[in-house]
Amino acid sequence: MSASTRSTLFSLPVVALLASGCGNLNEKGDCGGWRRTPHCNPPGGTDAGETHLPSADGPAASRADAVRAGQTAEVEPADARETGVEQADAGADDQAGGETGGAGGTAAGGSSGTGGALAVAKFVGNIDTSRSIRPDFATYWNQFTPENAGKWGSVQRSGPDTFTWSSLDAMYQYCTDHNIIFKQHNFIWGSQQPSWTSSLTTDTGPAAVQNWMSSFCQRYPNVRLIDVVNEPPPHTSPAYADAIGGGTDSTWDWIINAFKWAHEACPNALLILNDYSNAEDTSTAQHDVDIVNALKAAGAPIHGVGCQAHDAANTATSTLQANIDMIARSTGLPVYITEYDIDTADDAEQLRIMQDELTMFWTNENIKGITLWGYVVGHTWRANTGLVQDDGTMRPAMTWLMSYLGR
């Protein structure tokens, strides 16, 4: 791909502007699955951005109050970056969306279309660093994923009527200010869920999950992509799976319901099933294909398959490409690389892998976006995946990547 082509992809005009809102959070903190380390960030404590659901006849908190709660630090302004958001459905009916009600008011306004998901130009993004977005983020990346702040256990850890938004608020605001694509991670997972969700029943489960999704989408209406279900069985399963439909390893009704509810809450977002090992292992890839096709047969709105690719560095590029292409071919859906990193202290080896794999990711038409999982040395989930020193000095892989992308 020529430099001019890459430049064009990263300067497409914005059709739908990101709205305002925002906060800070950090490490992956994942506790489920065979590959996890004790790098967990369990829910707990309090947050300055904690809000409570208003009563049915009481006013929601004002937008200004909600935003103010999330302004924990000023962020240096940077030149606006084009996100390349395009209208996928020419018949979508965009509506003005001012303040919305819900949990503690909204930290976001702007347009909220009703005609289907919006396409997003191919991106290369990253996550927050030690619970906040660094001022240099917009220099390197044009897409953002919250590492922990968007997980249900971070937002509603205190109870079903209490929401803690400040971390997400500041992150969303930064993305708004810099025209960076905001991707939510995640709605449902078998880890880092509020402790009270383990007691949900078929009477209370659907309402609780729908309330979580709708409250998020009302507050952040311009979220572009959402990991609706993260690491499905056999990797992880939420304690409340049977309470929201059940069907694990058969009809997958709980996942079907999750995608339908997510689409109802965020009709303009691209909805993703996110998993690990599906790019590296053919049997995992096929298992995810089977789940996705069950969802499609049931009429569930799903727009993409996420491949975390944490262990891609230990897998032949040809194997990665074969599995990714098989997923896309068998489901008819695009693939997103969602949590990519290269865990080696050897600069030359990290550079070699980055050149080989990132080039394949970027030129593969089945892959519509790439998110790296951390970039600052000493502040990443795995010890040696960092690409930039605290002072801005780049490792060779980062120098090459920025040159390749024309950034």
Q: Which residues are catalytic?
A: 231, 339
Beta strands in 156-256 (DSSP E): 162-164, 181-189, 225-230
Alpha-carbon span 62 to 5, nearest angstrom: 44
Alpha-carbon span 107 to 198, nearest angstrom: 29
> Nearest to residue 112, comparing CAs of 275, 257, 266?
266
Tell me the C-alpha to C-alpha distance, in Å, between residue 391 and each of 296, 319, 377, 387, 398. 47, 36, 10, 12, 14
Q: How many helices (H) and strands (E) does the chain have?
A: 12, 14
- Please, which residues bridge with residue 120 across strands? 85
DSSP state string for 162-190: EEE-HHHHHHHHHHHHTTPEEEEEEEEES
**Contact predicate 174/137, CB 8 Å:** yes
Handedness of CA 137, 140, 142, 148 (dihedral sign): negative
> Nearest to residue 49, comparing CAs of 173, 139, 145, 141?
173
**Contact predicate 212/187, CB 8 Å:** yes
* Pair type for strands 110-111 and 96-97: antiparallel
3-state secondary structure of 294: helix
Residue the block writes with tokens 């892989």: 397
* CA atoms within 13 A of residue 21's CA, in its CB half-sphere: 28
Burial class (CB in 10 A: 0-12, 13-18, 19+), 363: exposed
Residues 6+ apart with CB under 8 A from 171: 22, 23, 24, 25, 128, 133, 144, 146, 149, 182
Tell me the C-alpha to C-alpha distance, in Å, between residue 331 and each of 233, 267, 323. 18, 21, 12
Alpha-carbon span 191 to 239, nearest angstrom: 9
